Structure 1
Amino acid sequence: MSNNSKESNFVPYVSASRSLPELTVTAIILGIILAVIFGAANAYLGLLIGLTVSASIPAAVISMAILRGVFRRNSILENNIVQTMTTAGEAIGAGAVFTLPALFLWKVPVSQGLIMFIVLTGGFLGVFMMVPLRQLLIVREHETLPYPEGTACAEVLKSGEEGGTSAKLIGIGLAIGGVVKALGDGFKLFKTEVETGISHFKNAVVGLDAFPSLLGVGYIIGPRVAGEMLGGGLLAWVVLIPAISFFGSGSAHAIFPADVPISKLDAWGIWDSYIRYIGAGAVATGGLITLVKTIPTLVGSAIATIKGVQANRGQLKAGSLRTEKDMPAKYVWIGILLIILIIAFTPFTDVGIIGAIAIAVFGFLFVTVASRIVGVVGSSSSPVSGMTIATLLIVTLIYKATGFTGMNGMVAALTVAAIVCTALAVAGDVSQDLKTGYIVGGTPWKQQVAMMIGVVASASVIGFILILMNKAYVMGSPALPAPKAALMKILAEGVLGSDLPWTLIFIGAAIAITLEFFGLNSLVVAVGIYLPVHTSAPIMFGGFVRYFVERSAKTKEERKLRVDRGTLFASGLIAGESLIGVVIAILIAAGVSIPDAAKSASNLLPFILFLILAGLLWFVSNKGKNQNV
Structure 2
Amino acid sequence: MAHGTPPVAEDRVPVAEVHAAHAHTPYVSPDKSPLEMTIRGLALGSILGVVFAASSVYLAIKVGLTVSASIPVAVLSIAIFRALGNSSILENTIVQTAGSAGESLAFGVAAALPALLLLGYDISLTHAFLTAALGGVLGVLMMIPLRQGLIVQEHGKLPYPEGTASADVLIVGEQGGTNARTVIIGFLVGGVYKFLYSGMKLFKEVLSTPIKGLKSAELSTEVSPELLGVGYIIGPRVAAITFAGGVLSYLILIPAISFFGSGLEQPLLVHNGMLIRDMSPDQIRNAYVLYIGAGAVATGGLISLIRSMPTIIGAFQRSVATLRASRNQGGAPQLLRTEQDLPITVVLVGSLLLVLAIWLAPPLQVNFISAILIVIFGFFFVTVSARITGEIGSSSNPISGMVVATLLVTCLVYLLLGWTSSEDRFMALTTAAIVGIAASNGGTTAQDLKTAFLVGGTPRKQQVALFVGVLTSAMFIGMVLVTLNRGATAIIPEPHPNVKVTDLTEETHTQRTFPWAVTAQTLAARGTDEAAVRKALWAQGYELNTQSGTPELRSWREVTAQDAGAVTLNLANDAQVKVSELGTLTEGPKRTYKEGHVRGADTPVPAGKYLIDEAGTIQYVVDPGIGGRISSYEGQQLTRYSAPKAQLFALIIDGILTQRLPWDLVLLGVFIALMLELCGVSSLPFAVGVYLPISSSTPLFVGGMVRYLVDRVRGGTAAESEFSPGTLLSSGYIAGGSIAGVLIAILEIASDGALTRAINLPAMLGHMGGLGGFLNAVGESEAAHPLWSNIWGLVFFAGLTAFLLRSALKGESAAVAPAPKK
Cα shift at 1:547: 0.3
Cα shift at 1:431: 0.4
One-letter identity of the residue aligned with 2:73:
A
Spell out, residue by residue over 1:165-202, the C-alpha distance to the aligned partner (whole angstroms, 9 max, x if none).
Answer: 51100000000000011010011111111101111111
Alpha-carbon contact 2:62-2:642 (below 8 Å) kept = yes
Please identify the structure whose Cα radius of gyration is greater.
2
Query: What is the aligned residue count?
Result: 622
* Between 16-25 and 585-594, the greater mean CA deviation after superposition: 585-594
Unmatched tracts of structure 2, length 5 or more: 1-20, 489-624, 632-639, 764-774, 818-822
Spell out, residue by residue over 1:117-172, the C-alpha distance to the aligned partner (whole angstroms, 9 max, x if none).
Answer: 11111010000011110000000011000000000000000000587751100000
One-letter identity of the residue aligned with 2:394:
S
Question: Quick one: which of 33, 36, 47 aligns to 1:33?
Answer: 47
- 2:330 and 2:211 map into 1 onto residues whose CA distance is 64
Unmatched tracts of structure 1, length 5 or more: 1-6
Alpha-carbon contact 1:84-1:451 (below 8 Å) kept = yes
State the TM-score, normalizing by the size of structure 1.
Answer: 0.96
- 1:332 and 1:588 map into 2 onto residues whose CA distance is 43
User: Is residue 517 from structure 1 mapped to residue 678 from structure 2 by the alignment?
Assistant: yes
Residue aligning to 1:361: 376
Question: Quick one: which of 790, 793, 815 aligns to 1:606?
Answer: 793
Alpha-carbon contact 1:68-1:74 (below 8 Å) kept = yes
| Structure 1 residues 12 and 493: CA distance shift in structure 2, 3 A | same
Residue aligning to 2:121: 108
- 1:559 and 1:422 map into 2 onto residues whose CA distance is 28
Where is the helix percentage greater, Structure 1 or Structure 2?
1
Percent identical pairs in the alignment equals: 46
Matched residue SS, 2:218:
strand
| Structure 1 residues 454 and 613: CA distance shift in structure 2, 3 A | same
Residue aligning to 1:135: 148
User: Is residue 184 from structure 1 mapped to residue 345 from structure 2 by the alignment?
Assistant: no
Matched residue SS, 2:217:
strand
Alpha-carbon contact 1:185-1:192 (below 8 Å) kept = yes
Cα shift at 1:221: 0.3
- 1:129 and 1:316 map into 2 onto residues whose CA distance is 21
Residue aligning to 1:582: 742
Matched residue SS, 1:604:
helix
| Structure 1 residues 408 and 288: CA distance shift in structure 2, 3 A | same
Q: How does 1:561-576 map to 2 (within 5 A)?
A: 564-576=724-736
User: Is residue 271 from structure 1 mapped to residue 285 from structure 2 by the alignment?
Assistant: yes
- 2:46 and 2:173 map into 1 onto residues whose CA distance is 21
Residue aligning to 2:352: 337
> Greater RCO between the two (CA within 8 Å, min separation 6)?
1
Cα shift at 1:563: 6.4
Residue aligning to 1:328: 343
- 2:344 and 2:230 map into 1 onto residues whose CA distance is 39
Alpha-carbon contact 1:214-1:535 (below 8 Å) kept = yes
Residue aligning to 1:4: none
- 2:242 and 2:290 map into 1 onto residues whose CA distance is 15
Residue aligning to 1:3: none
Cα shift at 1:561: 5.6
- 1:33 and 1:559 map into 2 onto residues whose CA distance is 27
Residue aligning to 1:546: 707
- 2:719 and 2:100 map into 1 onto residues whose CA distance is 26
User: Is residue 408 from structure 1 mapped to residue 595 from structure 2 by the alignment?
Assistant: no
Matched residue SS, 1:619:
helix
Residue aligning to 2:669: 508
Alpha-carbon contact 1:233-1:532 (below 8 Å) kept = yes
Alpha-carbon contact 1:283-1:526 (below 8 Å) kept = yes
Residue aligning to 2:61: 47
Alpha-carbon contact 1:558-1:624 (below 8 Å) kept = no
Alpha-carbon contact 1:561-1:625 (below 8 Å) kept = no
Residue aligning to 2:720: 560
| Structure 1 residues 94 and 162: CA distance shift in structure 2, 3 A | farther
Residue aligning to 2:626: 475
Alpha-carbon contact 1:22-1:75 (below 8 Å) kept = yes
Residue aligning to 1:173: 186
- 2:323 and 2:812 map into 1 onto residues whose CA distance is 47
Alpha-carbon contact 2:93-2:457 (below 8 Å) kept = yes
Question: Quick one: which of 101, 106, 118 aligns to 2:131?
Answer: 118
One-letter identity of the residue aligned with 1:331:
V
| Structure 1 residues 558 and 313: CA distance shift in structure 2, 3 A | closer
Question: Quick one: which of 81, 95, 99 aligns to 1:67?
Answer: 81
Cα shift at 1:103: 1.0
Residue aligning to 2:393: 378
Alpha-carbon contact 2:89-2:174 (below 8 Å) kept = no
Matched residue SS, 1:284:
helix
Residue aligning to 2:474: 459
| Structure 1 residues 349 and 626: CA distance shift in structure 2, 3 A | closer
One-letter identity of the residue aligned with 1:291:
L
- 1:130 and 1:168 map into 2 onto residues whose CA distance is 34
Alpha-carbon contact 1:366-1:424 (below 8 Å) kept = yes
Cα shift at 1:79: 0.5
Q: What's the C-alpha RMSD, in Å, of the aligned pairs?
A: 2.0
State the TM-score, normalizing by the size of structure 2.
Answer: 0.74
Alpha-carbon contact 2:725-2:812 (below 8 Å) kept = no
Residue aligning to 2:363: 348
Alpha-carbon contact 2:291-2:662 (below 8 Å) kept = yes
One-letter identity of the residue aligned with 2:25:
V
Q: How does 1:153-232 map to 2 (within 5 A)?
A: 153-160=166-173, 166-232=179-245
